[in-house]
């Protein structure tokens, strides 16, 4: 993401070929071109030509809802041979239109006040899951950063995994694997601030940068050499938008464990359908590591179209109905209810999107933890 985008120049690049329409999950769910990438650009062209009409009123609201009806899957950018950076354009356009969405303004306020999307006391970041996991990991408190502690490895938990109980088992699995590979690490606890990714999706880059400056300072104090996260949104924010020294490695959890683990004591020998999280697959190009890791664990991957689950871009907040239509269409297309096969992924948001639609879904690391378990632990 750069500074101010020259919209007029970018619009000139679009040759209106329409290649971006059919691949867009929003277009597929609604059948309306105005919601497609090209449709959004048409609308923006109109706004560029007649800005006074879009200052407020119905047209401004309608335009805003079009710009916010996007899952930020990045598929249009990948498809466009004219290299129109559509998501950069949408992100910038969101900055001026976010004020029309009270729920989004609330999220922005939550992050600015409490440094997490939920507006909860940030000191609680690690409290709920440490209480649940202390029987399994009696030294868990030692792994939470406090002044003076240093470590080569930092595990960046992210807002979703910190506060939502579904992910406690994922955290348990991660800590179990860390123990298995005998890795010393720290998590930031109350010193972890939101990575800024949700603010990016609202076009609030400067506010996001303030949070990132804090995280970067803590990474420096810890003397981290490797930062690992399971959340693809956090990964993108850490890799591309935090000003972290280039000698520090920033890895998705699957990349990290793929490097660390060559084989497991007991292969699982199961078949699962793998959902590539858009932000991991398309934006961060982490494609092979999850597959390598699953192969080592003994998961036979049944490939699906690398398509959106509808859970990104704040779409659940701005248009829950379309977000649900997208996941419902994916479930039908991939025959997930007809075939007795579970889904596996490696993104907390995608995992919730499938599970909340009635599909049994696991994070890869939950299976990895099983594959390294002794008989008594299973």
Residues that bind ligand SF4 (CB under 6 A): 14-20, 24-26, 37-38, 41, 70-76, 79-80, 82, 84, 86-87
Nearer to ligand SF4, 29 or 364 (CB): 29
Compute the least distance from the CB of residue 17 to ligand SF4, in Å: 4
Phi, psi at 21, each rounded to 5°: -75, -60
CA atoms within 13 A on the CB side of 112: 12
Compute the least distance from the CB of residue 132 to ligand SF4, in Å: 36
Nearer to ligand SF4, 244 or 278 (CB): 278
| d(C-alpha 69, C-alpha 90), whole Å | 10
Nearer to ligand SF4, 264 or 323 (CB): 323
Compute the least distance from the CB of residue 30 to ligand SF4, in Å: 10
Question: What 3-state DSSP class applies to 282?
Answer: helix
| d(C-alpha 80, C-alpha 87), whole Å | 12
Q: How would you label 358-371 residue by residue, b for 16+ Cβ within 10 Å and e otherwise? A: ebebbbbbbbbbbb
CB 157 within 8 A of CB 235: no
The residues, ordered by sequence, that sit 6+ positions from 56 with a Cβ below 8 Å of its Cβ are none
Nearer to ligand SF4, 15 or 332 (CB): 15
| d(C-alpha 49, C-alpha 288), whole Å | 45
Nearer to ligand SF4, 80 or 174 (CB): 80
Compute the least distance from the CB of residue 301 to ligand SF4, in Å: 24
Compute the least distance from the CB of residue 351 to ligand SF4, in Å: 19
| Two tokens, residue 220 | 């420096």
Beta-bridge mates of residue 57: none
Nearer to ligand SF4, 41 or 238 (CB): 41
| d(C-alpha 354, C-alpha 311), whole Å | 9
| Two tokens, residue 309 | 């689950």
Compute the least distance from the CB of residue 159 to ligand SF4, in Å: 22
Nearer to ligand SF4, 17 or 181 (CB): 17
Compute the least distance from the CB of residue 334 to ligand SF4, in Å: 18
Compute the least distance from the CB of residue 3 to ligand SF4, in Å: 21
Nearer to ligand SF4, 114 or 236 (CB): 236
| Two tokens, residue 245 | 């020294």
Nearer to ligand SF4, 176 or 282 (CB): 282
| d(C-alpha 140, C-alpha 134), whole Å | 6
| Torsion angle of the four alpha carbons 211, 212, 216, 218, in this order, in degrees rounded to the nearest 10 | 20
Compute the least distance from the CB of residue 313 to ligand SF4, in Å: 6
CB 227 within 8 A of CB 242: no
| d(C-alpha 106, C-alpha 11), whole Å | 32
How many residues are present in the chain? Answer: 378
Can you point out the beta strands (E) in 161-260?
226-229, 249-252
């Amino acid at each position: 993401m750069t500074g101010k985008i020259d919209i007029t120049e970018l619009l000139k690049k679009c040759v209106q070929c329409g290649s971006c329409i059919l691949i867009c999950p929003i277009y597929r769910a609604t059948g309306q071109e105005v919601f497609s990438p090209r449709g959004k650009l048409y609308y923006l062209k109109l706004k560029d030509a007649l800005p006074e009409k879009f200052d407020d009123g119905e047209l401004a609201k309608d335009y805003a809802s079009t710009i916010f009806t996007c899952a930020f899957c990045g598929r249009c950018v990948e498809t466009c041979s004219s290299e129109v950076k559509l998501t950069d354009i949408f992100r910038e356009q969101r900055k001026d239109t976010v004020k029309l969405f009270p729920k989004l303004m609330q999220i922005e306020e939550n992050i600015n006040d409490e440094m997490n999307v939920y507006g909860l006391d940030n000191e609680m970041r690690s409290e709920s899951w440490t209480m649940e996991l202390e029987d399994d990991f009696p030294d868990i408190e030692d792994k939470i950063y406090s002044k003076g502690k240093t470590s080569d490895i930092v595990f960046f938990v992210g807002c979703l995994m910190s506060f939502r109980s579904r992910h406690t088992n994922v955290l348990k699995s991660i800590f179990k694997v860390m123990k298995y590979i005998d890795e010393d690490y720290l998590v930031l606890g109350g010193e972890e601030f939101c990575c800024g990714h949700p603010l990016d999706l609202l076009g609030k880059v400067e506010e996001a940068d303030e949070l990132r400056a804090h995280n970067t300072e803590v990474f420096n104090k810890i003397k981290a050499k490797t930062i690992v996260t399971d959340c693809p949104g956090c990964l993108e924010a850490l890799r591309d938008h935090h000003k972290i020294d280039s000698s520090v490695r920033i890895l998705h959890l699957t990349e990290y464990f793929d490097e660390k683990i060559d084989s497991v004591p007991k292969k699982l020998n199961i078949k699962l359908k793998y959902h590539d999280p858009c932000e991991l697959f398309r934006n961060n190009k982490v494609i092979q590591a999850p597959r390598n890791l699953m192969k080592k664990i003994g998961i036979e991957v049944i490939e699906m179209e690398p398509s959106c689950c509808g859970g990104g871009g704040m779409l659940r907040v701005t248009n829950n109905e379309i977000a649900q239509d997208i996941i419902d269409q994916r479930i039908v297309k991939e025959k997930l209810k007809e075939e007795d096969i579970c889904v596996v992924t490696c993104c907390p948001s995608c995992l919730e999107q499938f599970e909340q639609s009635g599909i049994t879904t696991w994070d890869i690391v939950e299976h990895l933890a099983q594959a390294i378990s002794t008989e008594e632990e299973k």
